[in-house]
Amino acid sequence: MGMNITEKILAQASGQASCAPGEIVEVRVDVVMLHDIGTPGIQNPLKELGVDKLPPSVEVVIIPDHFAPAPTVKAAENLKLTREFAKKHHIKSYYELGRGGICHQIMPEKGHVKPGQVIVAPDSHTTTYGAFGAYATGLGVTDTAIALGIGKLWFKVPPTVKVILRGKTGPAISAKDISLFLLKELNSEDVLNRALEFEGEIIERMSVDGRMCLCDMAAEMGAENCIIPPDRTTLDYLKERVKTPFSTLSSDADAVYEKKVEFDLSALEPQVACPPTPSNVKRAREMEKVKIDQAFLGSCTNGRMEDLRIAAQILKNEKVHSDVRLIITPASQEIYLQAMKEGLLEIFVNAGGSITSPTCGICFGGHSGLLAPGEVCISSSNRNFIGRMGSPKAEIYLASPATVVASAIEGKISDPRDRMRKGGLR
């Protein structure tokens, strides 16, 4: 009987010829990523485990991004601890403020993600690295400390749901709209704790930026991991960034799936997730009466070049509505610089947008753009939970970068296709 790509990675990493859903396997962990919440969090468990030296088999990458730059003294203490931990353990891959950015962008950007690897981190959006054919999943700090200290961790092999995306989407439709559409359409009980494997023409044509967005949003679908078997697009991206050899895996033709679902997305319209869950999704067109106070473009979901480019196309020669604050957070220093070179930052500033340094702060309600009671925000990030971006009495709508900036101009939720047609975009 054949295996799918997730099963193959878990079998390979546990030294077995094969494995099947439901089986508990002890897996060798290739990479552990830590940020400035995870690093302080693993200190006690590591100490109690008696781990003084980290096993050399595990690649460790440390990326301070959540409370960076530090908004409080307590956060500064955590960042200091994170820095000192990296020094103590001679971690070469430590990305200081100003040299890194948001962890889930930095990991692949700096070549720390390879197909076929097992990658864990104390962060739910670790699923993002499945865009490169890795088994990547988020864990709590105790599991992370065990993976880091022992180099191995148990997993229950998840059943896999294959999602086949067919058709050709319109020019205003991004991977975010597809993710939100899937959040609405997929039965949450069918995908909870499952591996999601994507294929189809939509995926074949999708950029690396888009694939990362989709795999990032799989965390909201409740998936254990999300995976796109590597293809030419993956390899083209990786060859610029990964310096060491790797091999790619793919699913067997007779691999077993718990379920297969198929969607034709040719008629897909811009989507918006309404409060208070990412699965409460409607068409942007239906929500156009909702006035907004803040618009946020950024996060590990949508702070990449593709996102900034479409935003700049829509914002060019336009102004953000007088009642709206637009906050833009490039996901990394590399993206920040590229956006500068392409003149995108100038467009954002001229439009009245506020650009922050790469950070997770706004998305998770940590700092740099919290909401007051009664305020409404449209955001390109991943969660609209109660209190996610500040006051529990604020409301968050999730949408694509195009919808976020079109809404920022209009002062209310807006289908970006109107502006894109008017501006002669595409």
Partner 1 sequence: MKIRGKVWKYGDEIDTDIIYPGKYLVSFDPSEAGLHAMEGIESDFCKKISKGDVLVVGKNFGSGSAREQAAVALKSAGIGAVIAETFPRTFYRNAINVGLPVVEIKGIKGKVDEKDEIEVDLDKGVIKNLTQGKEDTFPPQPPFLMEILKMGGAIPYYKKKTRR
For residue 392, the minimal CB distance to partner 1 (Å) is 6
Q: Give me the least distance between CB of 36 and partner 1, in Å please.
A: 9
- Whose Cβ is closer to partner 1: residue 45's or residue 353's? 45
Residue span binding partner 1 (CB under 8 A) among the ranges 82-90, 185-193, 208-216, 333-341: 185-193
- Is 16 a binding residue for partner 1 by CB under 8 A? The answer is no
State the SS3 of 72-92.
CHHHHHHHHHHHHHHHHCCCC
Total residues contacting partner 1 (rule CB under 8 A)?
Answer: 49
Listing DSSP states for 18-57 in one string gives: ---TT-EEEEE--EEEE-TTHHHHHHHHHHHHT--S--TT
Contact pick of 45, 108, 133, 358 for partner 1 (by CB under 8 A): 45
Handedness of CA 7, 27, 116, 279 (dihedral sign): positive
Cα–Cα dist 6/193, whole Å? 13
Nearest to partner 1 of 3, 139 (CB atom): 139
Among 21, 28, 49, 69, binds partner 1 (CB under 8 A): 49
Q: Which stretch binds partner 1 (CB under 8 A): 215-223, 227-235, 266-274, 324-332?
A: 215-223
One residue of 8, 13, 41, 62 binding partner 1 per CB under 8 A: 41
243 touches 369 (CB < 8 A): no
Classify residue 384 as exposed, middle or buried by CB count within 10 Å of its CB (0-12, 13-18, 19+): buried
Bridge-partner residues for 196, per DSSP? 161, 226
Q: Is 222 one of the binding residues for partner 1 (CB under 8 A)? A: yes
Which stretch, 116-124, 266-274, 351-359, 411-419, contacts partner 1 (CB under 8 A)?
A: 116-124
Among 2, 167, 171, 387, binds partner 1 (CB under 8 A): 387
- 18 lies in the binding site for partner 1 (CB under 8 A): no
CA geometry: angle 277, 124, 265, nearest 5 deg:
55
Structure token digits, residue 281: 């999704």
In the set 27, 75, 97, 217, which binds partner 1 (CB under 8 A)?
75
CA atoms of 32 and 148, how far apart (whole Å): 7
Q: Could you give the residue ranges of the DSSP H alpha helices within 66-174?
A: 73-88, 103-109, 141-150
Of residues 22, 50, 245, 373, which one binds partner 1 by CB under 8 A?
Answer: 50
Tokens of 421: 């047609």
Q: Residues 342-381: x/- map of binding to partner 1 (CB under 8 A)? A: ----------------------xxx---------------
State the Cα–Cα distance between residues 364 and 202, nearest whole angstrom.
Answer: 30
DSSP single-letter state for residue 105: H
Shortest approach of partner 1 to residue 160 CB, angstroms?
14
* Token output for 160: 């896999």
Lay out the site mask for partner 1 across 228-257 (x = CB under 8 A, - = otherwise). Answer: ------------------------------
Closest CA to 401 of 132, 198, 166, 213: 213
Q: Does 7 bind partner 1 (CB under 8 A)?
A: no
Q: Is residue 277 involved in binding partner 1 (CB under 8 A)? A: yes
Give the contacts of 139 (CB within 8 A, at least 6 positions apart).
120, 121, 122, 126, 147, 153
Contact positions with partner 1 (CB under 8 A) in 120-179: 122-124, 126, 138-143, 145-146, 150, 156, 158
In the complex, which residues of this chain contact partner 1 (CB under 8 A)? Answer: 24, 37, 40-41, 43-45, 48-50, 66-67, 72, 74-75, 78, 122-124, 126, 138-143, 145-146, 150, 156, 158, 188-189, 192-193, 219-220, 222, 224, 277, 364-366, 383, 385-388, 392
